[in-house]
C-alpha cells in the first residue's frame, strides 16, 4: 500500500500552534489532508504528531492518527526522515506492508492533488528513490547581491556582472510541499540530491514558504487570489 505521512508536531516556535492555526478559515493542516485524501494513488493518510489537539483536528478532516509520536522524535532538532521511518515501521508492525511513502508537510495550503498524483506516476515509472516538489527562482541566482561588512554592495558571482539573464542557467529550490520516496530511501542516508532522485516542477504561484507571520499573511493573500481565479475559470 501507499501511504501519505504528514508530520505535525505541536512545538512550533516562530508561529505558535502553526500546524492547526486557521488559514483562510480552516486549520492549515486541513489543506494537506484533503489534497492527499483526494489522490487515488494514496491508500491511507496518516498524521504523525505528539500533540493531542493536532490529533483531534487531523481526525476531524479525515486523516488517521494511529499512534502518538514518541517524545524523542518530537524535538526541535529531529530531521524528517526518522519521523517517516517511524510511521512506516509502525504500519508494517501492525500488518500493513508499505510500497511507497509520500511525506507531505502540514503547512502546504497550495498543494494540489494532481501534483501529488503526477509526481507519484513519475516516481513509480522511473523507479526513483525520491521525487520531490521544486520550483524556479524568480531571478537568476548568478546575479545575486550581498552586503559586505563595510556596507558596500557586492556580487556573489561577479563574473556574471555583464551576462544577459537569458544566457544564465535557470535555478530551482525545494518547494517544501511533498516528497515521494521508497521506504528504504526514507530509512537510509539517501540524499534528495542523489542520481536516482527526480524533481517535480511546480509553478511559483503555488509555492510559498511559511516560516514567519509575514510569510503567513502573504500566503493567505496569495491563496485568496488563487481561489478567486479558480472560481472564475
Interval 14-41 mean pLDDT: 96
Interval 121-150 mean pLDDT: 95
Q: What is the mean pLDDT of the chain?
A: 94
CB atoms near residue 148 (< 10 Å): 8
Given a cut of 60, whether residue 172 has pLDDT beyond it is: yes
More reliable by pLDDT, 33 or 193: 33
pLDDT at 119: 98
Share of the chain above pLDDT 90, in %: 88
Split at pLDDT 50, 70, 90, the class of 193 is: confident
Split at pLDDT 50, 70, 90, the class of 233 is: low
pLDDT at 149: 87
Given a cut of 90, whether residue 100 has pLDDT beyond it is: yes
Domains, the chain: 2-135+171-232 (3.90.550.10)
Given a cut of 80, whether residue 230 has pLDDT beyond it is: no
Q: What is the dihedral of CA 68, 72, 75, 79, to 10 degrees?
A: -90
How far apart CA 73 and CA 49 sit, in angstroms, is 9
pTM exceeds 0.75 for this model: yes
Least confident of 12-16, 65-69, 122-126: 12-16
Q: DSSP states of the chain as a string?
A: -EEEEEE--S--SSSTTGGGSEETTEEHHHHHHHHHHT-TT-SEEEEE-S-HHHHHHHHHTT-B--SPPPGGGSSTT--HHHHHHHHHHHHHHTT---SEEEEE-SS-TT--HHHHHHHHHHHHHTT-SEEEEEEE-SS-GGG-EEE-TTS-EEESSGGGTT--GGGSPP-EEEEEEEEEEEHHHHTS---TTSTTEEEEE--GGG-----SHHHHHHHHHHHHHHHHHHHH-
Split at pLDDT 50, 70, 90, the class of 76 is: confident
pLDDT at 82: 94
pLDDT at 194: 73
Give the cell for residue 138: 524568480
Interval 207-222 mean pLDDT: 95
Least confident of 112-116, 124-128, 155-159, 189-193: 189-193
Amino acid at each position: 500500500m501507499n501511504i501519505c505521512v504528514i508530520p505535525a508536531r505541536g512545538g512550533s516556535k516562530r508561529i505558535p500552534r502553526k500546524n492547526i492555526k486557521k488559514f483562510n478559515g480552516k486549520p492549515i493542516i486541513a489543506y494537506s489532508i484533503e489534497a492527499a485524501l483526494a489522490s487515488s494513488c494514496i491508500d491511507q493518510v496518516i498524521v504523525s504528531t505528539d500533540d493531542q489537539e493536532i490529533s483531534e483536528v487531523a481526525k476531524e478532516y479525515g486523516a488517521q492518527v494511529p499512534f502518538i509520536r514518541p517524545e524523542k522524535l518530537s524535538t526541535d532538532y529531529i530531521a524528517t526522515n526518522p519521523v517517516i521511518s517511524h510511521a512506516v515501521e509502525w504500519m508494517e508492525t501492525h500488518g500493513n506492508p508499505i510500497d511507497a511513502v509520500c511525506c507531505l508537510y502540514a503547512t502546504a495550503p497550495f498543494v494540489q492533488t494532481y501534483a501529488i498524483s503526477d509526481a507519484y506516476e513519475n516516481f513509480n515509472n522511473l523507479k526513483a528513490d525520491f521525487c520531490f516538489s521544486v520550483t524556479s527562482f524568480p531571478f537568476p541566482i548568478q546575479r545575486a547581491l550581498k552586503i559586505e561588512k563595510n556596507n558596500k554592495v557586492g556580487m556573489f558571482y561577479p563574473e556574471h556582472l555583464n551576462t544577459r539573464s537569458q544566457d544564465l542557467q535557470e535555478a530551482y529550490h525545494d518547494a517544501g510541499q511533498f516528497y515521494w520516496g521508497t521506504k528504504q530511501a526514507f530509512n537510509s542516508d539517501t540524499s534528495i540530491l542523489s542520481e536516482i532522485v527526480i524533481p517535480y516542477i511546480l509553478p511559483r504561484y503555488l509555492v510559498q514558504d511559511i516560516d514567519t507571520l509575514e510569510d503567513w499573511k502573504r500566503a493567505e493573500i496569495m491563496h485568496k487570489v488563487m481561489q478567486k481565479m479558480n472560481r472564475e475559470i
